[in-house]
């Protein structure tokens, strides 16, 4: 596995695929702002090292802000699967950190 962490690798790949679908929807909606925001994220989710992977996931997660959210532009059929995938990835990274910090 890329990081020798199968759970993290799988979660990152699921998030990357969900981001690909979200990016396609942003392009279809002609939302230049969200296209520019999302464009680098699928590759980062697929290829970044663990430290950078967390940064990419948190950057992507910030698209779901309380005042300015990607949900305001794109539908739940693409926004919610990506959000769920990001949250699973962040939890997997947190579990890894907790295990390494304490054992």
Q: What is the DSSP string of 11-80?
A: HHHHHHHHHHHHHHHHHHTT-HHHHHHHTTHHHHHHH--HHHHHHHHHHHHTTB-SSSBGGGTS-HHHHH
Neighbours of 17 (CB within 10 A): 16
**Under 8 Å CB-to-CB from 64, ≥6 apart: which residues?**
70, 71, 79, 83
Q: What confidence tier does 51 reach under pLDDT thresholds 50, 70, 90?
A: confident
For residue 64, list its beta bridge partners: 69
Query: Which band of pLDDT confidence, cut at 50, 70 and 90, is reported for residue 98?
Result: confident
As a dihedral over the C-alpha atoms of residue 70, residue 75, residue 77, residue 80, rounded to 10 degrees, the angle is: 30
> Does 103 score more than 50 pLDDT?
no
């Amino acid at each position: 596995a890329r990081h020798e962490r199968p759970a993290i690798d799988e979660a990152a790949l699921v998030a990357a695929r969900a981001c690909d679908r979200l990016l396609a929807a942003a392009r279809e909606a002609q939302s230049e702002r969200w296209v520019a925001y999302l464009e680098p994220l699928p590759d980062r989710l697929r290829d970044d090292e663990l430290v950078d992977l967390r940064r990419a996931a948190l950057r992507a997660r910030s698209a779901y802000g309380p005042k300015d959210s990607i949900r305001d532009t794109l539908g739940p059929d693409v926004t919610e699967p990506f959000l769920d995938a990001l949250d699973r990835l962040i939890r997997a990274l947190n579990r890894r950190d907790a295990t390494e910090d304490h054992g």
